[in-house]
Structure 1
Amino acid sequence: MHVSHLTLHDFRSYAAAEVALDPGVTAFIGRNGQGKTNLVEAVDYLSRLSSHRVAGDAPLVRAGADHAVVRAAVVRDGRTAVLEVEINPGRSNRARVNRSPLPRARELVGLVRTVVFSPEDLTLVKGDPSDRRRFLDDLLVLRTPRIAGVRADYDRVLKQRNSLLKTAGAARRGSSSQEAALSTLGVWDAHLARTGAELLAGRLELVAELAPYVGRAYATVARGANRDDAGISYRPSLELDGVADRGALTEALLAELERRRGDELDRGVSLVGPHRDELLLTLALGGGEERLPVKGYASHGESWSFALALRLASYDLLRSDGDDPILVLDDVFAELDTGRRAQLAELVADAEQVLVTAAVGADVPEVLAGARFTVSGGEVRRDG
């Protein structure tokens, strides 16, 4: 899979841009603020309908414009499809395939797959649990696109249920308004348990599949490490005791919601569900056999190696599904020491398509020699 042509209208800093791309390695070189990352961000947005840089869509639309368009010709198994998304902040986005509108924009998700390495990846290790949950969900959606709808439904139910908990908790105990809120709460409990079980089951299956890839990837990028040093595991917000099928997970969530009802009313928030779960990252440090949490125990270099391992593992897992995802290396080489820089370059050099951004051409390892574009003043010019 690769992108053969990228078209932008009012996306980020570009009023308009047309870029023809080839398989293999393409590097975009330019000083900070010239727009090189905007190009690869657009490709990644088509993959997930979200940005790896910002939480919302508003910053993606050029100042003064009311919407942006990203269009890409994507080649897969020798056949080309044109994917397009119209980004409308505050309104529903629109998506098309070969100029035919899709009923919902999220049906575009997964038609092109990307794995992005960026300086922000360190937050996967050092950031909040929400960063790691998002990492899991993004990968889960790429492999199983229908989960995008499940996640959207869960977020909607969670918002409604939290609002109801605040209303019920604020009402005087025994009042008619609290009784009405509590009776309605049972309906939202059922919705939360059903959608939560679907999301939880997907995450549990994903972590089980991803774990061996993480171990192998860490051994590759960390000097002197072996595949048993790095581990990932999933810690849910309730005791599961081996429960994994969706029906049993739904019942387990309902029981835990009932058990925590008093605490939730006191605090006015939902305390049970996938939004409270954690992806645990552990390392065998200092030659010991016991694994310790990466966050708080690992050095800066070890943390970077683990972050790279998570991305490489994602790439290898997606590749095992039968498709080469597009690899995006966004300003990542400037953050790595010489050894990790060379190692990462060797590992990804045989990918079907690699898109690299760098402030200085010398930051791109020689093994990733390929097409080069200079990005300056909003213009994208192919070298040579």
Structure 2
Amino acid sequence: MNAPQGKENWLGRTIELDVGSVAHGGHCVSRVDGRVVFVRHALPGERVLATVSEDKGGGFCRADAVTVLRAAPGRVEPSCAVAGPGLCGGCDWQHADPPTQRSLKGQVVEEQLLRLAGLERKVEVEALPGGPLGWRSRVRMVAGRDGRPGFRAHRSHTVVPVVECPISVPGALDGVVDRRWRPGGEMETTLDGAGRSHLRELTTVRGREKSRQLRGGIAIEHAAGRDWRLDAHGFWQVHPAAAGAFAAVVADWAAVPRGGVAWDLYAGVGLFAAVLAEQAGPEGRVLAVESGHRAVADGKAALADLPQVRWRDGRVEQVLRDVRENPDVVVLDPPRKGAGKAVVESIVEGSPDRIVYVACDPAALARDLATFAGHGYHLAELRAFDAFPMTHHVECIASLTRA
């Protein structure tokens, strides 16, 4: 798509600019000749030469910082050889030290809360144990035209071949990067909590994705004081320390009364349901709602010793239409798009005393918090965690109470 008539298309143009504030998505904002430029590989306060990588016309374009003329404090050399303009799109902040990364993520959460929910709040992003490298326990790769595995470039189908990934758990790529694959095929590898490796190959045939298990298949994880056996490619926190850390926060804020009622929505295999059930005790009730059939089966097996947990297999917005009970506490961990108005309204109809919201996207969290506020539930506590170092992603946990 070309720029509008009378407006020059900047694609490929190199611009000298001052880098402005950080924005959601792993880039910073600059303004040049009346247009917004979203700049990657830069830090606020820097002066850079940036080459425009995408210009679809209108009021903004995208660019990569290719030369740093004035560096900002916190800039470092990337730890990955393929982190840079036109290369792997998996990491956003390899050029920033960990404290700077966390500060930028905190600023993003603050901006989203203020802009979308009208909440002015200082946010400090907490580090998880283990450091910024060697944390990613699940990796999805794609084979290029030559069959070599790699990762796609940012906003591109171009495959950047790799032989290692510094943010991945050591050993996670064994058996993947040392061979050739069917061009266009994808490979997903998982290294579980027991140190066992799992590998499957994914291909798309007539628009449908098919998988072939090549190694392993059943992962073993440990969190919230129990062992979990689950589909190695199903949902589990990617950072090894995340599941335990998040379960501890949920336990602290949920505080289900003995004999009480709790809901665990988007329950996965029941990590939070286990915490809620222990608090409620045998005389309590916990409703776990999950749409993934395999996750429900794994969850039922994992929590067979907790009969107070009742499982419902289905979409949250549909299941809650038929629920006729008032919970004391609701915990929800929705996908990246958030819970949405329908789910929020179903939750508040149950009049819980407390809501604990686990969010992987600050914009979605802020939108849902605004909807909750319209029904009398307000943000009481908020913690943010750097569960995805080197990337722009940040995990937040919010506690809401009725006014």
Flag the structure with higher helix content: 1
Q: Under a length normalisation based on structure 1, what TM-score does the superposition of the two structures give?
A: 0.31
TM-score (norm 2): 0.30
* Structure with higher RCO (Cα < 8 A, 6+ apart): 1
